[in-house]
Amino acid sequence: MTPDQVLDMMAVAEEIKRHDADNAYVMDALNTFRLTSMLQLVLRHPHLPADAAKLARDMIGSAKQFFDGCPNVLRTIERGFNPEHDYDPTDDTDASER
């Protein structure tokens, strides 16, 4: 990262802290599920820094708490950790054949 990029990131972090102090943000269930799915993909990156991985796992843990009482959603989230359950849009075989 260049010094200018570091300064930009520091400015972003300060804005987020200021904004967070004044506002509460609540995400709806669909977007919580979408974000969880994206974070699961992020966790597969081979060069993901440990602190980013921890943040992703913590956020997924929060999402699982959010969906407490939704067994189908929780089961789908668990499947999201297993690449065997990935959907391949180029695979035209019948789902029952997989």
pLDDT tens sequence across 31-78: 899 999 999 999 999 999 999 999 999 999 999 998 999 999 999 999
**Rounded to an integer, what distance in angstroms lies between the CA atom of residue 46 and that of residue 43?**
8
Structure-block tokens of residue 14: 């300060």
Task: Let me know if residue 20 belongs to a domain.
Answer: no
**Rounded to an integer, what distance in angstroms lies between the CA atom of residue 22 and that of residue 12?**
16
**Rounded to an integer, what distance in angstroms lies between the CA atom of residue 92 and that of residue 71?**
29
Task: Let me know if residue 67 belongs to a domain.
Answer: yes
Task: Let me know if residue 44 belongs to a domain.
Answer: yes
Task: Let me know if residue 11 belongs to a domain.
Answer: no
Find the domain containing 37 and state its range. 30-85
Phi/psi zone of residue 33: left (φ > 0), alpha (ψ -120 to 50 degrees), beta?
A: alpha
The closest of 85, 37, 74, 75 to 59, measured between CA atoms, is 37
* pLDDT on residue 67: 92
| Whether residue 80 has pLDDT greater than 70 | yes
Task: Let me know if residue 8 belongs to a domain.
Answer: no
The tally of domains found in the chain comes to: 1
| Residue 14 Cα distances to 21, 51, 54, 64, 81, angstroms | 11, 19, 21, 29, 33
**pTM listed for this prediction:** 0.66
